Amino acid sequence: MKGTVYKDGVVLPCEDLRIIEDGAVIVEGDTIVWVGKTRDIPEKYLSNDYARESVAGYSIMPGLIDAHMHISFGECESEEELSIYTSPEYRAIRAAADAEKVLFSGVTSSCDPGGPNNLGVAVRDARNAGLIQAPRMAAAGRQLTSQQGIGDNFPLWIGVPPSSMGVMVRSNAEIIQEIRDQVKAGVDIIKLAGSGLSSDEYAAFRREEIALAVDEAHRLTRPITIHARSRQSVRYAAEAGVDWIMHASYMDDHGLDLVLEKQIPICPAMTLLVNIIEANDLGISDISAGARRHAEEERDAAIKILTKFHRSGGTLICGSETGFSMTPYGEWHTREMGLFVKHLGLSPMEAILCMTKNSSMTLPRDKDKIGTITPGKYADLLVVDGEPHNDIDVLHDSSKIKTIIQGGKQMDRWRPANHKRIRLGFEKAHLYTRTPLKRTHFN
């Protein structure tokens, strides 16, 4: 067979808001060769050289792109689990298994903006070598941090462990050297920890330090992104010309104007914030009242400024921040689209564009080959039972995703969907007791 004709479905090309009723997509090898109305299929594709598959009653859309997914985090339940426990060797094997869960949630491409031991790069390469089933991936190394950045979350007397997601840079020379080291190690992107837990106001780096990192990354042909929740970090990032900004929860109007002027996309990753709050509602987390209040305040601030960003014509991209215990692999990848619809005022189709066309930029090697159903691009497709362009909740139900096609190939699981992974003792935080043992416990 020369290829396959998928016909009679509702096609969402995701080049814009256009919908093709009774549409068709034709695939040869790993590539889309034709898109249009079923009735307009060229004669050459109607021969017996092409398999024909009717998808009447279904929608055909591009595979989803999760722009913020940490494949090496292992669904960590604490900072210690993320940064200290578990060997690099075990983390790599675990990440390979977790990557398949991501793929079968409908995510055919993803960006991993930083993690320990260069594991994102390893998973990317294993996928490209055909060793594992996973989304196409772009990967950063450890995120460059100062003492005020999200990459340094331990007390001063401990510092940044070499097994953590961050790497401490203490001077301009160290910023440059770390970027050069990461480029040599094969990263696709550079990430800065531009803000941290200590303030919603100030940045983790000075303006000129961020500008230096941007200049060096771009000189070495690598995009650079930044974790920037605070007001100052967003402004500095926009002034320096980063390629996209993560979060921007406390962006002010001045920062908003700069981001819009520079046409810099924002990846809010609100899913993590909302899931932190809801996990606490369910009684499965032990965050303090103050941490809960801060998460609610950040959520509300993000909704307010990002709604304004969207209404002003800003570009939003979708990332789930999968990898934490609040955002396990295969579970919450599509929720960001729903939050965009519910809180930021996007239509379902506009939200889908955020997780297809808009998010393609976060995979620099593949950005011109993914994200839309366009002749010449990779045949990364989803066949969906329902109309996600009218009801975004359809995509939250993985049972509605009937077929996942990556590079023209219909994907089948290598592991059963209900396969249970056991968390081993060395992966977990080591608690002696949950409360001090007192004599009154025995009364």
Whether 99 and 12 map to the same domain: the answer is: no
433 lies in some domain:
no
What would the two tokens of residue 14 be?
Answer: 């995701």
Contact yes or no for 262/241 (Cβ under 8 A)? yes
Can you tell me the mean pLDDT for 219-237?
A: 97
User: What is the domain range of residue 128?
Assistant: 64-333
pLDDT tier at 286, thresholds 50, 70, 90: confident
357 lies in some domain:
no
Cβ neighbours of 286 (radius 10 Å): 10
CATH of the domain at 8: 2.30.40.10
Domain boundary among 302, 333, 364: 333
Write out pLDDT tens, residues 192-218.
999 998 778 899 999 999 999 999 999
Whether 36 and 136 map to the same domain: the answer is: no
CATH of the domain at 327: 3.20.20.140
Which segment of 158-162, 163-167, 389-393, 436-440 scores lowest on mean pLDDT?
Answer: 436-440
The predicted pLDDT at position 316 comes to 98
Q: Share the mean pLDDT of the chain.
A: 95
Whether 275 and 199 map to the same domain: the answer is: yes
Cα–Cα distance, 412 to 187 (Å, whole number)? 29
Domain boundary among 333, 363, 398: 333
The predicted pLDDT at position 420 comes to 81
The predicted pLDDT at position 144 comes to 98
Can you tell me the mean pLDDT for 327-337?
A: 97
435 lies in some domain:
no
Whether 41 and 71 map to the same domain: the answer is: no
Compute CA distances 310 → 227, 256, 272, 305, 356, whole Å: 19, 11, 20, 9, 17
Whether 40 and 75 map to the same domain: the answer is: no
Whether 124 and 13 map to the same domain: the answer is: no
Whether 379 and 243 map to the same domain: the answer is: no
Cα–Cα distance, 262 to 436 (Å, whole number)? 54
pLDDT tier at 279, thresholds 50, 70, 90: very high
